[in-house]
Amino acid sequence: MRLLLDTHTAIWWVNESEKLSSQTKALLLNDMHVRYISIASMWEIAIKVSLGKLLTLNGDAKAFFEKLEEMPVFLHPIKRRHVEMVETLPFIHRDPFDRLLVAIAKVDGMTILTADENIHQYDVPSVW
């Protein structure tokens, strides 16, 4: 399975947080799955850090990205077809980063690992 980590999932995984569900932990630890983080999530993290809204990183965005590079996760780019898909999504979620993650998952056949109930309402595979 190709797994797309929601931003909070990536943060909790790197920080080894107890907030991760047991099902999500099992998927993240199973090497049969390929894990991805979108460049959109990295952008979101940088914005939130700069605004002082993300204090759970145990450091700045650069330190977080360096930790992430040591983990079995691939960086997923944003492509034109992902942005075009955003336009067609029902307006369930107001967060532009989460809408983009839904579009990426739909276009590229991925399952989103997220605790966000709004994302679970979209017609896209998601697990928590």
**pLDDT at residue 55, rounded to an integer:** 65
Strands of the sheet containing 2-5, edge to edge, are: 74-76, 34-38, 2-5, 111-113, 126-127
Residue range(s) defining the domain that contains residue 92: 2-127
SS in 3 state form for 8-24?
HHHHHHHCCCCCCCHHH
Chain segment 21-77, per-residue pLDDT in tens = 999 999 999 999 999 999 999 999 999 888 888 766 666 788 888 888 899 999 999
Closest CA to 9 of 36, 33, 31: 36
- Answer whether residue 101 shows pLDDT above 90: yes
The CATH number linked to 47 is: 3.40.50.1010
The model's pTM is 0.93
Domain total for the chain? 1
Q: Please tell me the predicted confidence (pLDDT) of residue 50.
A: 87
